[in-house]
Amino acid sequence: MRRSRSLAPCCVHEHLSQSSVLTLLWLLTSPGVSVCHRAEMDRWRGRVALVTGASVGIGAAIAKELVRHGMKVVGCARDVGRIQKLAAECQSAGYSGVLLPYKCDLTKEEDILSMFSAIKSRHKGVDVCINNAGLAHPEPLLSGRTSGWKEMFDVNVLALCICTREAYQSMKERNVDDGQIIHINSMTGHRVVPSADVHVYCATKFAVTALLEGLRLELREANTHIRASCISPGVVETEFTQRLYRDKPEIASTFPFFDMKPLEAVDVANAVTFVLSAPPHVQIGEVQMRPVRQVL
């Protein structure tokens, strides 16, 4: 996201209004001259973001990036120790924001509600909600265990809905009209992968695609300028596959990278700051991103 392109073209339009210039700057340079990108991210400095599933992988990379941009980030997961380690790393790197670890099991609504009330009492509320936590179990439709299906729906769909509702209510009660909700969806939310192990996982991500559009419509009906977006990555190198095949490590070691270079978690984190740095009237609906060599 940090391409070097000349700033000159966007600096010569003196006749344009300041907001037009900012928009033009953004359009000309997106997704990434660092100077413009940083300027647009400045408006989030000191504001509160919730990142679910911040202990590892994509969530950890997003949390770190937002802290680097000066945000107050509440990072939640079950393994809070790993978030504490990440918070210490952010601090020693001298990042201007702060990472606040919070232990939360997203399969439990009471945990989610307690987290939102802790955020309210300690930090007033949530301005940005990144619904990242997610998982897959290799439980096919014809033979899978209900418990595996349930956990996928609980975390990937229900927790996302609960966090979205609570984040919106938090914004509304504080008259925050420029908040942002981002779902970390997946390319599997747009086409079914022909592998029985992930059919139910695909269904949870298709649900996220539908939920995003529903959310956009409800936010519009509620007359807010709160924005909602999805980021749908293809294969990203994280613990996801090891966790998916925790009982079949031989598959985890070969699947699914084949001969291609997968996306890195930071690539997805950069897409998050790209979405956040869009001018307030621009709502990025969906970012789809794959490794160049990915087939499906």
Residues at the site binding ligand NAP, with contacts judged by CB under 6 A: 53, 55-59, 77-79, 104-107, 132-135, 155, 184, 186, 233, 235-236, 238-240, 243
Q: How far is the CB of 244 from ligand NAP (least distance, A)?
A: 8
Burial 210-248 (b: 16+ CB within 10 A, else e): ebbeebbeebeeeebebbbbbbbbbbbebebbeebbeee
**168 labelled catalytic:** no
Q: How far is the CB of 182 from ligand NAP (least distance, A)?
A: 11
Q: Given the complex with ligand NAP, which of 36 and 235 has the nearer CB atom? A: 235
As a whole number of angstroms, the distance between CA 116 and CA 126 comes to: 8
Distance of CA 223 to the CA centre of its chain: 24
Q: What share of the chain is helix, strand, coil (3-state, %, to 5)?
A: 50, 15, 35
Which residues, 6 or more positions from 25, have their beta carbon under 8 angstroms from its beta carbon?
A: 10, 36, 39
Q: What is the dihedral of CA 132, 135, 140, 145, to 10 degrees?
A: -120
Q: Is 249 exposed, middle or buried (0-12, 13-18, 19+ CB in 10 A)?
A: exposed
Q: How far is the CB of 159 from ligand NAP (least distance, A)?
A: 7
Q: How far is the CB of 50 from ligand NAP (least distance, A)?
A: 12
As a whole number of angstroms, the distance between CA 220 and CA 172 comes to: 13
Q: Given the complex with ligand NAP, which of 134 and 138 has the nearer CB atom? A: 134
For residue 23, give the amino acid letter. T
Q: How far is the CB of 281 from ligand NAP (least distance, A)?
A: 28
Which of 95, 102, 168, 201 is labelled catalytic? 201
Q: Given the complex with ligand NAP, which of 71 and 160 has the nearer CB atom? A: 160
Cβ distance 60 to 31 under 8 Å?
Answer: no
Q: Given the complex with ligand NAP, which of 77 and 171 has the nearer CB atom? A: 77
Kindly write down the DSSP assignment for every residue of 208-221, as one continuous string: HHHHHHHHHHHHHH
Looking at the annotation, which residues are catalytic? 201
